[in-house]
Amino acid sequence: MADDLETICMELIVHAGEARAYAYRAADLAAAGDFAGAASALAAADTEIAAAHGRHKAALALDGAGGLGPVSLLLAHAEDQMMTACSERGLIEYIVGLHRRLAEKDAG
């Protein structure tokens, strides 16, 4: 992977976006009663979040080496996307659990 700031930011944004998409897919699957599919989608979201964190770590390493330069709007946007994906993933895991409990209540 290239380690110039613009590439790092774009990769971070892509991974964060994929994580959000998988998380929302998990919510949709849970609403439809597919809890195994929801768990799989959350696991895929976790993989993308880990990749985003990896790119963030690359930005931190670049900064530590003195190569970051002035903070850019692109970097701020990339970090915002990553943190939003992390927050939404956590909230959606809670929503999946609510759907599961409602389904169990309806079945019981």
| pLDDT averaged per 10 residues, the chain (length 108) | 82 97 98 98 98 93 78 90 97 97 91
Are residues 85 and 53 in contact, defined by beta-carbon separation less than 8 angstroms? no
pLDDT at 67: 67
Whether residue 77 lies in the annotated active site: yes
pLDDT at 1: 47
DSSP state, 104?
H
In the chain, count of helices (H) and strands (E)?
3, 0
CATH code for the part of the protein at 5-107: 1.20.58.80
pLDDT at 72: 83
Taking the C-alpha atoms of residue 45 and residue 59, their distance in angstroms, rounded to an integer, is 21
Are residues 82 and 53 in contact, defined by beta-carbon separation less than 8 angstroms? yes
Catalytic residue among 15, 53, 56, 77: 77
pLDDT at 2: 56
pTM: 0.90
Taking the C-alpha atoms of residue 51 and residue 1, their distance in angstroms, rounded to an integer, is 12
